[in-house]
Amino acid sequence: MIEGWRWYGGYDRISLSEIAQTGAASIVTALHEIPYGHVWPRQTIADTRMQILAAGFDWTVVESLPVHEAIKRGEGGLEELFANYRQSMANLAAEGVKVICYNFMPLLDWTRTDLTAPVGRGGSCLRFSITKMAAFDVFMVDRPGAEEDYSAEDIATARCWLDKASPADREELTAAIMAGLPGAYDRYDAAGLRAALAAYRGFDRTTLRMNHKRFLEEVVPTAEELGLKLAVHPDDPPRNLLGLPRIVSNAEDIGWLLSAVESPANGLTLCAGSLGANPENDVPAIARQFSGKIHFAHLRNVAKEPDGSFEEAPHLAGDTDIPAVIEVLLAEEAARRRQGRADASIVFRPDHGHELLDDAGRGTHPGYPLVGRLRGLAELRGVIAGLTHAGAAA
């Protein structure tokens, strides 16, 4: 397995020289400054690649090449957007990129309600509170029909939280929910989000699935020609949000998607944390079921609560059996090597670490601190070494 590290380029408070000290070998990044739907110029990709190579890393995984909202909604003439996406793929392939991670979550990317929830022995973590989400959705955004998506108890606790919340608390909640959006585009306040949601009124799961299938039909043949792998990222959190459907949340969703367009290029980013936030998901079992289509992996952990809330846990201490997941990935790599495949090794990265020690106040991207991820990488590295040694001894 290849140790990766997500880097936000010019937006990142962590330098490549600091990342080099973590021991990671591969940078996972994107051109976050380019608006959605525009072509990624080959020269800009080449400049980024040279910067990464000069720092001693390789760059084979892009996270993410964003899918424009119009494609997700399936509205209007989309030929130019599809053509731009294919051209960006060609430019990336020409500069040595092998895997493109993307998601098909409508409007919002990963979503949390707290960016600095306290951790028992110090530090902070990302958290998703169903109480705060209901307060935001039902009362602050005032989305029509929002009450139907929450229990009476959820709504009552949300009302209680809102009654006690200061204007600063409300602003902090809105900022947290918006923080998952990458790059520098399309941040909303509550009123702006209400207007953006109106474009999705009447939008359902079946429609989103059909639009996702059309996207794959448009880009998978190009991926095959270029030798690229597409790796869809699961929904985060794996539940409908703000009335918007989510369609990559469990094994059934993944199975449908990977069979919608049959191709080795149509694959999965195995995100143990996103899938682990759904209490019905057995993450090691999902990894085994789709191991042949896993092109990239995010290894992190969550601790779930009965009401649907969850928070980021230490990488080896949450609800998901991460060593079991890693065991599946190592077995898949071994199977690929036996087949003589050049792409046998899977890039993984430690995801969403706690803010620890000097991370506090540094202003890194939420969930992407230096020390917290370094701790996670060290723990994952130890598991991989132990399992590899045990396999060799056997």
Work out the burial of residue 166: count CB atoms within 10 Å of its CB; fewer than 13 is exposed, 13-18 middle, 19 or more buried: exposed
Residue whose structure tokens are 């600091």:
18
**From the candidates 253, 352, 354, 359, which is the catalytic residue?**
352
To the query of whether residue 125 is one of the catalytic residues in this protein, the response is no
**From the candidates 68, 212, 233, 315, which is the catalytic residue?**
233
Task: Return d(Cα 98, Cα 59) in angstroms, integer.
Answer: 9
To the query of whether residue 351 is one of the catalytic residues in this protein, the response is yes
Cβ-Cβ contacts under 8 Å for 261 (sequence gap 6 or more):
213, 216, 217, 220
**From the candidates 149, 253, 351, 359, which is the catalytic residue?**
351
Report which of 388, 297, 339 is spatially closest to residue 3, judged by C-alpha positions: 297
Q: Are 194 and 177 in contact (CB under 8 A)?
A: no
**From the candidates 68, 212, 298, 354, which is the catalytic residue?**
298
**From the candidates 150, 188, 200, 368, which is the catalytic residue?**
368
Task: Return d(Cα 288, Cα 342) in angstroms, integer.
Answer: 21
**From the candidates 149, 188, 271, 354, which is the catalytic residue?**
271
Cβ-Cβ contacts under 8 Å for 117 (sequence gap 6 or more):
124, 125, 126, 127, 311
Task: Return d(Cα 242, Cα 245) in angstroms, integer.
Answer: 9
Q: Are 362 and 13 in contact (CB under 8 A)?
A: yes
Report which of 342, 352, 344 is spatially closest to residue 377, judged by C-alpha positions: 352
Gyration radius of the chain over CA positions: 20
Task: Return d(Cα 314, Cα 27) in angstroms, integer.
Answer: 22
Task: Return d(Cα 287, Cα 321) in angstroms, integer.
Answer: 11
To the query of whether residue 352 is one of the catalytic residues in this protein, the response is yes
Burial string for 78-115 (b: 16+ CB within 10 Å, else e) reads beebbebbbbbbbbbbebebbbbbbbbbbbbbbbbbbb
To the query of whether residue 368 is one of the catalytic residues in this protein, the response is yes
Task: Return d(Cα 111, Cα 34) in angstroms, integer.
Answer: 22
Give catalytic residues, as residue numbers.
233, 271, 298, 351-352, 368
